[in-house]
Amino acid sequence: MTKLKIFVALALLAVAMPLSAQRQYEEGDIVQDPKYPNIKREMIEDVSQKWLVHITGKLPVTATLNGHDYVDLGIKVEGKLIMWAACDVGATKPEQVGTTYGWAEVEHKAELDGSNSASYGKKVYRSTVLGNPKYDAARKHWGGKWRLPTVPEQYMLIRKCKWEQAEMNGQRGFLLTSIKNGNMLFLPSLDSDDSCCEYWSSDECDMDDKEQSCSLRAVGKTSWDDYIDIERTPRTYQIPVRAVFVP
């Protein structure tokens, strides 16, 4: 599968902060979000005009399914509206990193390698995994229509949302704002120092690769190294799951 790498300016101020067009902000400046009183933006690097979004309290959700909050970002894939979970599988708040799993695993393992992996070196594909409680952690633990997202669904999350480095109640990560309807989603970081998120998809990278599968990765630092992409990730690497469903 061709690697999809999209370099982004994570502080998308042309839309999120129209005041920035009026003057140059300096490092340490803080600006209140005009719509949400619990959201502020802090200038963290004045040379590149990079901002960090500070979120306190909660973000709005659309509704719940099987006891789990979800957000309608207004994003369709292949004509179907995709609803995104407000928090990771295994977490109770958006800012919490959920349970980490190997690809096609439904439980976290203290040690995971090729000898005890459900998929490493094996003929396991999207058709095997998607919605199957034996391989899909979202379906196993949340039930109902919840499942792992596909690569096209993750790709549209990249394409159809504004991504900003953020911290929510002290946890670093990314704030995603839909360009379709303005609804928001927070993805917590796996790294305590920088914003670095990674989430499994349901998809193999190609039919011949039995050691890696595809994940969504977002990296944001106070450098020009920021990127969001779909990457090849070893199947034995344990990372969170952000579930989806189709209504």
Give the tens place of pLDDT for each residue, 155-170.
999 999 999 999 999 9
pLDDT at 201 > cutoff 90: yes
Which pLDDT score, from 0 to 100, does residue 8 have? 42
Per-residue pLDDT at 20 exceeds 70: no
The reply to whether the predicted model has a pTM over 0.75 is: yes
Q: How confident is the model at residue 15 (pLDDT cuts 50, 70, 90)?
A: very low
Phi and psi at 205, nearest 5°, equal -80, -40
User: Could you give the CA distance from residue 228 to residue 102 in angstroms, rounded to a whole number?
Assistant: 21
Cα 36 off chain centre by = 21
Mean pLDDT of the chain: 90
Predicted confidence (pLDDT) at residue 13 exceeds the cutoff of 50 = no
pLDDT at 220: 82
The beta strands (E) that lie in the chain are given as: 4-6, 30-32, 39-45, 50-55, 63-65, 68-77, 80-85, 161-168, 171-178, 184-188, 195-204, 212-220, 227-234, 244-245
Q: Where are the domains of the chain?
A: 59-161+196-245
